[in-house]
Structures are given as C-alpha cells and as structure tokens.
C-alpha cells in the first residue's frame, strides 16, 4: 500500500494514476472529498495534514508515503508514519530550500523532519510547476489575455506529470534512499513564451501583459504569506544560476528527458479554450 497525500492536486492525481498503472494499491488523502472522482479502486481518506493524528487512519498498513509540505507539524506527521509501520517517505519539497533557504524555511523544516525521522527517505526538490499557468485559464478563456511579471526571464519549469513519474519510480524502486533530486523541465521558458505556447495549443492569439512587481505582489499576496511572496518574486525576477540551470535528475531517474512546457500546454489546452 502506498499513501499519496495531496491526491487531488496536479502532482498527486497524476501520481495516483502512475501507481495504479504499475499495479500498486493506493490510499489517496485529501482534505475534502474530490470533486472529480478518483478511480474506483483507490481508497480515499479525508484528512488535513495540519492534524497528524487524523492522517493516521490513512497510514495503517502502508509501506510508503508521498508527503507534501503542508501544515505546521512535520515531526508529528513523520512520527505517525513510523508508528504505522511506514518504511519509505518521499517528500515533495522545493528547489528554493537549496537556493534560498531563508525564504523557504517552512519546507526546510519538513525536509529535516523526514531526513531525521523516516527509516528510508527521498526528497524531491521541484522547480516551478508548469501547472502554475492554470492561473491564466480564466482570463485566456474570457479575454484571450495573460499577465505576469518579468516577461522575458526564463526558468526551466517542470511538468507535474514528470514530477509524478519520478515520485512513482522512487516510491516503488530501490537505490533512492538519502537522495535529494532537483526536478526541472528540459529548457528555460519565459512568461511571454509560455503564453505563446498556450496560444499555439488552442489555435488562438493570446495577448500578454507584463505586470509590474507591485501588481504581481498584490496578486500573490491573496494566497501566499509575505515571506513566500517575496521569495517567489525573487526567483521569478532575479533567479540564481542554479535556478536557471536544467537539472539532469528527471532523466537520471526516468531514463528519458523531461517534457517541455509546450507539451504540457497541448495536453491541457481544453482548460484555456
């Protein structure tokens, strides 16, 4: 049995699909009953990672756990996993833990809890996800417009499908204990270029508006705490050499190159049309 937290998210739902395709038994954990039903052979447990005791019901009988950075008690989550007999924990963290530790202290605390407390562990430090472009879905559908700051700054955004495929391989395979993989796409893409890729995927023009830093800060502040907002703006606007670099880790684990943003846009064109 493999437990997947965040099972209704962009990475989690894809991970559930990969694991089922490999013949694994899966328990899917999310805070609420999913609006889009999970496959019928998946056990679902409603639990909030902010309450480690509530997660325990999902962990009994599990051998491996895919864990998100969520809640304020990572040590409690790891203790519950150990008590339930979970042997392997795979944590989805952020590349920022390595490049900007002051801005990503919350994720760093989760990493420390897992590396200190799990019998076997692997950390997946994801770069920016291609699915962040879903924030453009409504304005592209309604007005054929997209807006973002730093229009021509390129970063190697990673496809959630590739993150999920790596997670599935690590959860099921051996030889990954103690590894911290950085997951990126195959090439840098800019906000302007990503909008153009979506336009190509839907066969319609999309006008791009470059936001000011203050406009972007106000938008991000609606769903991020201030330190994370500033860290995100710093990554997007003044990325370090490491943040710009394409990591070999997706190909190292999967034996194939990661998928470009354009491929993600084609697969998800219906959301923008």
Q: List own/partner pairs for 231-235 with CB under 8 A and 24 or more apart.
A: 231/96, 231/100, 231/103, 231/104, 233/149, 234/100, 234/103, 235/96, 235/99, 235/100, 235/128, 235/155
Average pLDDT, the chain: 96
CA torsion angle 224 230 232 238 (round to 10): 170
* The predicted structure's pLDDT at residue 103: 87
pLDDT, tens digit, for every residue of 64-103?
999 999 999 999 999 999 999 999 999 999 999 999 998 8
Where the chain has pLDDT below 50, the residues are none
Return the pLDDT at 226: 87
pLDDT digits (tens, 9 = 90+) for 27-66: 999 998 887 888 889 999 999 999 999 999 999 999 999 9
- pLDDT for 256: 98
SS3 256: coil
pLDDT of residue 70: 95
Say what the pLDDT of residue 36 is: 80
Give pTM, 2 decimals: 0.96
pLDDT in the model for residue 224: 85
Run of H or E residues at 134 = none
């Amino acid at each position: 049995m493999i437990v997947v937290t965040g099972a209704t998210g962009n990475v989690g739902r894809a991970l559930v699909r990969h694991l089922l395709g490999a013949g694994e038994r899966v328990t899917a954990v999310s805070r609420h009953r999913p609006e889009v039903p999970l496959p019928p052979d998946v056990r679902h447990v409603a639990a909030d990672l902010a309450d480690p005791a509530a997660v325990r019901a999902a962990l009994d009988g599990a051998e491996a756990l895919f864990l998100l950075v969520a809640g304020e008690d990572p040590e409690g989550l790891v203790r519950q996993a150990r008590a339930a007999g979970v042997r392997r924990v795979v944590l989805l963290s952020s590349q920022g833990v390595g490049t900007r530790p002051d801005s990503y202290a919350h994720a760093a605390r989760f990493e420390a809890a897992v590396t200190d407390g799990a019998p076997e562990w692997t950390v997946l430090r994801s770069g920016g996800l291609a699915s962040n472009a879903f924030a453009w879905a409504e304005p592209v559908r309604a007005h054929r417009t997209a807006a973002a700051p730093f229009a021509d700054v390129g970063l190697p955004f990673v496809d959630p499908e590739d993150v999920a495929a790596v997670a599935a391989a690590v959860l099921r395979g051996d030889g990954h204990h103690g590894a911290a993989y950085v997951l990126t796409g195959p090439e840098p893409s800019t906000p302007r270029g990503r909008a153009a890729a979506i336009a190509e995927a839907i066969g319609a023009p999309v006008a791009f508006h470059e936001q000011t830093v203050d406009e972007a800060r106000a938008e991000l502040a609606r769903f991020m705490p201030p330190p994370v907002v500033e860290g995100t703006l710093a990554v997007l606007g003044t990325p370090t050499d490491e943040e710009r670099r394409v990591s070999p880790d997706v190909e190292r684990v999967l034996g194939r190159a990661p998928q470009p943003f354009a491929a993600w846009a084609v697969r998800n064109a219906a959301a923008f049309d």
